[in-house]
Amino acid sequence: MGAKKIQRAVEKQLDEFGEEDVFAEYLKERSVTRLLNSIEPRTGKVSRGMFYAWLHSKSHPERFRRWQINKHIVAHDLAEESLIISDKSAEDPSSVPSARLQVETRRWLAERYDRDSFGKQPDQTLVGVSFSSEFLSSLKQVEAEIKEAEYEVVEEPKYEVLDHKNSENEQIEGKTTSSEAAEGLNSE
């Protein structure tokens, strides 16, 4: 059986089960994997990929929007559960590490399911820079003064390269001068 035939068969099974019933089961299970396992006896085996293809079906474009509404509902439920879990952990201090993990997991899921309500808002820093006309005119004046300034061109002095070994020999023997040593190096 081709992939398209399998996809159409899965879509038919899920449509027969009913979109509202699928969404209601998701609200109860709050996980696609658990949802698919719970409806398997009535719909047959449905993979997550096929399920998401059914959600994004071109023939039902509004289905995914309704799915997102259900995820927002789950996000609010998760936030409320987090509060209940944290309140219970206050009664038993030994359960705090496990309660923290449960609360953080639910908070993370709530942030992903409903970013507008539970997500961290990005830091937006606006920087405005303005230059007054006085500053700009001063800058133009400095630029004009730089153009009018008289410059003196300084030539770089010529350097004589000496061989360190020859200069030591000159000092010891006293036979050659440094200019003779430099000429000797150039002729070699």
CATH architecture of structural domain 3-118: Orthogonal Bundle (1.10)
pLDDT in tens, 102-145: 999 999 999 998 888 888 777 777 777 777 888 888 888 888 88
Q: Quick check: 67 and 55 in contact, CB under 8 A?
A: yes
Domain limits of the chain? 3-118
Alpha-carbon separation of residue 3 from 8, 10, 55 (angstroms): 9, 11, 17
**Which two three-digit tokens encode residue 168?**
């030591």
Per the confidence metrics, is the pTM higher than 0.75?
no
pLDDT in tens, 52-78: 999 998 888 899 999 999 999 999 999
Q: How many residues does the chain have?
A: 188
**Which two three-digit tokens encode residue 143?**
């630029």
74/79 Cα distance (integer angstroms):
9
